[in-house]
Copies of this chain bind each other. A is one copy, B any other.
């Protein structure tokens, strides 16, 4: 959300309020017709705080064409109440100069402090004992372009941690959970687990674009984040070999790559290999646990019907979610 005093958060708009000149992101637009020949635009506007339905009466073809879905515009209008919910009636709109604002400022973002999370990631990574693995991980941690993308990327397009900083938050969740549980499974290689978690979804930085919305890139759809991260590991190892003149331990590379290529746990979820080491099962299940719980909370928080004990059907969970907690009743 742009940190300027002018901006009126969408979440705060109330019926009766006037909006003089505010930038919002156009999420959807539809041209709808009326029986007497008129047309109006039905649109959804968004900023980081939420979304609102908007209507623009007496639309013209030019106006409609000038609106770009997934684009930013300046709006003038007023808020009415429709079926008990606020609705934005557009009185005018005009374009935003390129570069004037950062579109990503209109996307949802993590509720946590990105820099603090990243610092914690670094702290944990530094505890890796194996020198080769530490060096390899260091290649990623010291790559400013990668780090910037890693801090910004969502963890998924929609189901879980689908907000700026979501990848970092999800990754740190797994690292913290591993840190807590590893002492109970001392036969696992702590080093491999930490490195594997850091990189398991790192390919999401290129699988998903996060400019004005979260969408798959071409490479994301054609190659995917799993193969991408596996490739990066070998590219970095090759870099280290060139720098040091020493071969990078092949077994280590293989075992780390295995954590990436097996972390979805099943072929039908796009893993080209199934988990075959204790570390691979560990990373897969922690990942699954955090993702599923985030989906559960997500389903509850976004459910429009606050009275119902059940959310709507949530496809990725294959269920509706029961919201009622009888121990707190």
Contact = CB atoms under 8 A, between A and B. Distances in A.
A327 B191 contact: yes
Contact of A235 (B187, B238, B255, B270): B238
A140 interface: no
A318 B271 CA distance: 14
Contacts of A205: none
**Count of identical protomers in the assembly:** 6
A224 B272 contact: yes
A318 B188 CA distance: 20
B222 A252 contact: no
Interface residues of A, number: 85
A251, A275, A327 interface centre (most CB from chain B within 10 Å): A327
Contact of A319 (B275, B317, B321): B275
Interface stretch (A7-15, A103-111, A116-124, A226-234): A226-234
A72 to B, nearest CB: 19
Interface string A24-44: 000000010111101010000
B321 A276 contact: yes
17 contacts: A177-B184, A181-B181, A189-B327, A192-B326, A219-B250, A222-B257, A222-B258, A223-B254, A224-B261, A227-B257, A251-B329, A255-B322, A255-B324, A270-B273, A276-B319, A285-B288, A285-B289
